[in-house]
Structure 1
Amino acid sequence: MADLDDNGHELRGGLRYPWPQAPDSGQVREVAPGVWWLRMPLPFRLDHINLYLLRDTDGWVAVDTGMNTDQSREVWERVFSEVCDGLPLVAVVCTHFHSDHAGVAAWLSQRFHCPVYMTVSEFQSLHVKFPADQPPGWDFLDFYRKAGVGDEQSGEMFAVMSNAHFLPAPLNHFRRLQEGSCLHIGGRTWQVVIGRGHSPEHACLYAADDDLLISGDQVLPRITSTVGVHATEPLANPLRDWLDSIERLRRLPDSVLVLPAHERPFFNLHQRLDQLEAHHHGHLALLLANCDEPRTALELMAVLFPRLSGRFDELMALGETLAHANYLVAEGSLVRDEDRGRYRYRSAVRGACAVTPLKVF
């Protein structure tokens, strides 16, 4: 039986959970006046995403959308008839571009002729897609070769990324969100707080007067958001962005009710930020401890993630491994050498250049 505090909130892992269970798949629960938690099913192991419906004066605002699947559209149709009281969506807000958050934004916008709000970097990233009807390009294969992955395995990874589940419907318009933007919805003001690392310019929504934070994937309980490097930007340093964002989020009060995109709403924001920071510093220390001899990213992946199941897990794990390796290279703790078409990482000699100079042809 779970421990409870004086308010009857479940205590688990240093966090407080006001609701012992999530709504059933496709169902809703009111978590604050005019704020409804919608549990949308997903077609893989992480089997849900939390969406939020905000009651406005003459309709509803949807925060995130679910994936571009018939199942998502079926759930939305049921919500329109059973929850929305015949009132339309008047806007859609996408915290970021990932397919479970923006998959049917275009469909919702077209259905209700309503605007879609997101940051400019997320809108641009939404339109960077792998050509599903073509074989993987040289740049994709080169990225994974340098990480130590063979072409056959890379092709299977490409097939996973080209799955229609991961391809949001095209969106031809948006209204820009940026740090400090305010959305006035149903008499409540939501301020945009930007986080980075999981995605380029992730928009969280903070209602100061009501102590509410819709955190998207920027802060999750128990599980950690993916912070990865991918073929589109091979030398990126998203972990630096992620850790910087943790420090910025500490400016928000610890008292907020965090409404995350996965699992259950919770209290104790600062405790969770401490846990996320410690998690990544632990991975950095483990990776560094295993680089006395040069190792490829694929070899280091087996150190950080010894138990994986399938190509999708490998994609995520390799991206995370590279994020930690690139961070340590940028900090001067690792050296990245190119050897016979592979990048190999080794502990840096004090005073040495940590990055092999880029070749310009």
Structure 2
Amino acid sequence: MADLDHNGHELRDGLRYPWPEAPAGGEVRKVADGVFWLRMPLPFRLDHINLYLLRDGDGWVAVDTGMNTEQTREVWEQVFTGLCAGQPLRAVVCTHFHSDHAGVAGWLAERFRCPVYMTEAEYQSLYVKVPSGAEPGWDFLAHYARAGFNAEQAGDMYRTIQNGHFRPLHFNSYRRLREGDRLRIGGRAWRVVVGRGHSPEHACLYAEDDGLLISGDQVLPRITSTVGVHATEPDADPLRDWLASIDHLRDVPDSVLVLPAHERPFFNLHARLDQLAAHHRAHLALLLATCDEPRSALELMAVLFPKLSGRFDELMALGETLAHANFLMAEGSLSRAEHGGLYRYRRRDPDAPATDPRDVL
């Protein structure tokens, strides 16, 4: 039986959960005056995304949209006639460009002739398509070969990302969000707080007067957001951005009710930020300790993620492994050498000359 505080909130792993259970898929729950939590189904093992509907006079604002599937559209149709009671969407806000967050933003905007709000980098990322075509390109194959995958495995990775679920509907205009901007919705002011690492310029929404934070994927309870390096930018250092964003989010008070994109809303924001930072620091230490001898990314992935099921899990796990390796290389504590098209990583000799991180070629 779960431990409860004096308000009857569940206490688990240092966090406090006001609701013991999430609504069923497709159902809506009120979490504050004018703020409603919609549990949208997803066709994966992570079987849901939390969307938020904000009352705005005689209309509504949607925060995130769900994936580009028929099931998503069916749930939205139920919401339009149920909670919204025929009242229109006045705007769509996308925290970031990922397909479960922006998948049907274009459809909603077209249906209601309403604007879509998101940051510039997220809007641009919608148009940086995943690789497409009948066969993977040389650079895609080389990326996975350098990590230790054979051509057949790399081909499986390629086919995994071709799924139409990962392709949000595009839209031709947007309203730009910047750090510190305010959205006034239904008499409540939501301030934009930008995070990075999981995506280029993720917009969280903070209602200071009401102690609410719509955190998207930037802060999740229980699970961790993907911070990964992929074939489109193999030398990226997203973990550095992620850890800096954790510090940035500490400017938001610990007392807020966090409304995340997955799992349940919770209190104790700063405790969760501490946990997320510790999680990645532990992975960095483990990876470095494994590299007393040269190791491939595939070997390191098996250490950091010993239990995986399927190519999609491997795709995400390799991306996380490379993010940690790239961070350590930028710090100067890990070196990388290529032999026969395969990268191997090793703890850097402290007496070896350091490389200048500004040298990119």
TM-score band (shorter)?
over 0.9
1:250 counterpart residue number: 250
| 3-state secondary structure, aligned to 2:176 | strand
**C-alpha distance 186-300 of structure 1, shift in aligned 2 (>3 A):** same
Structure 2 CA distance for aligned equivalents of residues 60 and 359 of structure 1:
47
Structure 2 CA distance for aligned equivalents of residues 190 and 208 of structure 1:
7
User: Shift of residue 130 of structure 1?
Assistant: 2.6
1:53 counterpart residue number: 53
Residues 230-260 of structure 1: CA deviation (Å, up to 9, x unaligned): 0111100000000000001011100000000
The amino acid of 1:197's aligned partner reads: G
Structure 1 CA distance for aligned equivalents of residues 334 and 198 of structure 2:
23
Aligned length: 360
Q: What RMSD over aligned residues (CA atoms) do the two structures have, in Å?
A: 1.3
1:208 counterpart residue number: 208
1:97 counterpart residue number: 97
1:43 counterpart residue number: 43
Structure 2 CA distance for aligned equivalents of residues 355 and 58 of structure 1:
59
2:179 counterpart residue number: 179
Q: Which runs of 5+ in 2 are unaligned?
A: none
1:139 counterpart residue number: 139
Task: Indicate yes or no: 2:346 matched with 1:346.
Answer: yes
User: Shift of residue 57 of structure 1?
Assistant: 1.5
Structure 1 CA distance for aligned equivalents of residues 198 and 355 of structure 2:
24
Structure 2 CA distance for aligned equivalents of residues 182 and 83 of structure 1:
25
Contact 1:338-1:356 within 8 A present in 2 as well: no
Structure 2 CA distance for aligned equivalents of residues 268 and 207 of structure 1:
16
2:112 counterpart residue number: 112
Contact 1:335-1:356 within 8 A present in 2 as well: no
Residues 138-157 of structure 1: CA deviation (Å, up to 9, x unaligned): 11111111111111101101
User: Shift of residue 58 of structure 1?
Assistant: 2.8
**C-alpha distance 287-260 of structure 1, shift in aligned 2 (>3 A):** same
User: Shift of residue 351 of structure 1?
Assistant: 4.0
1:86 counterpart residue number: 86
Structure 2 CA distance for aligned equivalents of residues 97 and 319 of structure 1:
18
Task: Indicate yes or no: 2:212 matched with 1:220.
Answer: no
The amino acid of 2:226's aligned partner reads: T
Structure 2 CA distance for aligned equivalents of residues 217 and 89 of structure 1:
23
Structure 2 CA distance for aligned equivalents of residues 335 and 194 of structure 1:
32
| 3-state secondary structure, aligned to 2:233 | coil
Moved over 6 A (4+): 356-359
Q: Which runs of 5+ in 1 are unaligned?
A: none
**C-alpha distance 324-270 of structure 1, shift in aligned 2 (>3 A):** same
Residues 43-74 of structure 1: CA deviation (Å, up to 9, x unaligned): 01000000000000131000000000000000
5 Å-filtered alignment, 1:1-361, equals: 1-353=1-353
| 3-state secondary structure, aligned to 2:299 | helix
User: Shift of residue 347 of structure 1?
Assistant: 0.3
Structure 1 CA distance for aligned equivalents of residues 21 and 194 of structure 2:
29
Structure 2 CA distance for aligned equivalents of residues 109 and 202 of structure 1:
20
The amino acid of 1:15's aligned partner reads: L
Structure 2 CA distance for aligned equivalents of residues 171 and 345 of structure 1:
42
| TM-score, normalised via structure 1 length | 0.98
Structure 2 CA distance for aligned equivalents of residues 335 and 133 of structure 1:
34
User: Shift of residue 359 of structure 1?
Assistant: 8.6
Contact 1:337-1:356 within 8 A present in 2 as well: no
User: Shift of residue 356 of structure 1?
Assistant: 10
Contact 1:52-1:64 within 8 A present in 2 as well: yes
Contact 1:335-1:355 within 8 A present in 2 as well: no
Structure 2 CA distance for aligned equivalents of residues 226 and 291 of structure 1:
23
Structure 2 CA distance for aligned equivalents of residues 190 and 249 of structure 1:
15
Structure 1 CA distance for aligned equivalents of residues 259 and 354 of structure 2:
40
User: Shift of residue 355 of structure 1?
Assistant: 5.6
User: Shift of residue 75 of structure 1?
Assistant: 0.2
Residues 177-220 of structure 1: CA deviation (Å, up to 9, x unaligned): 01001100000000000000000000000000000000000000
